Amino acid sequence: MRVFLTGGRGGIGSAITEQLTENGIDTIAPSSSELDLSSDFDCSAYPEVDGFIHCAGINILARHENINASEFSRLFKINTLSFVSLCSQLKIKKGGSIVGIGSLYATTTKEERIQYTMSKHALHGAVKTIAIEKAKEQIKVNMISPGFVDTAMTRRNNTEQRIADLNSMIPLGMVNSQQIASMCVYLITKNTSITGQNFIIDGGYSLRGL
């Protein structure tokens, strides 16, 4: 079995690569220099795959009145449009699976997240639409939306007190990247009938009211 993975160098992407390898799955994970998702790329040279996981993504904070058009275009291409293009360009076997890594911001938002939120809402719409269009090939298309994930980047960008606060406010505590990776592996290797769905993995964070 062979899977094409974007964003394979990040905290979640590395965990996905690790678990795919542990399950005997060959992973094609080009770096951003090898495949620039913000450009008009061509993937015709890549071999046929059984699955595709889109984990690449960037987040640029800005209020709606301060959006930079060039930055927004780059973010939207990487987070959303590249997913659509790869679903079209990659040679995915009949019966294969596609997984888009979303976010809680695919269904909610907060201040200064307008660009990221728009891209993840659009990714959610793309997953549902492509799921319908790929069904004739028995290709399943789903999304996994992580909440707060305990990665090295999360710990670099937050104080120990902030990490402790997050763990106390999330019913099951912060999720880890291995939990996201496990769901990816299931959807790629075991899933035969689930498509067009968004799996929120957030330790119960989204269950709480304001």
Instruction: Please give the Cα distance from 90 to 106 (Å, whole number).
Output: 24
For residue range 115-159, what is the model confidence (pLDDT) as tens digits? 999 999 999 999 999 999 999 999 999 999 999 998 877 887 788
CATH class, domain 2-148+177-207, is alpha beta
pLDDT, residue 181, reads: 98
The token pair that represents 38 in the structure block? 């913000």
Helices (H), 63-157: 69-76, 82-89, 114-134, 152-157
Instruction: Domain ranges for the chain, please list them.
Output: 2-148+177-207
For residue range 13-61, what is the model confidence (pLDDT) as tens digits? 999 999 999 999 999 999 999 999 999 999 999 999 999 999 999 999 9
Please give the model's pTM, rounded to 2 decimal places.
Answer: 0.95
CB 144 within 8 A of CB 151: no
End-to-end CA distance of the chain: 44
The token pair that represents 99 in the structure block? 């997984």
Catalytic residue numbers, as ranges: 103, 116, 120
Q: What is the mean pLDDT of the chain?
A: 95
For residue range 31-40, what is the model confidence (pLDDT) as tens digits? 999 999 999 9
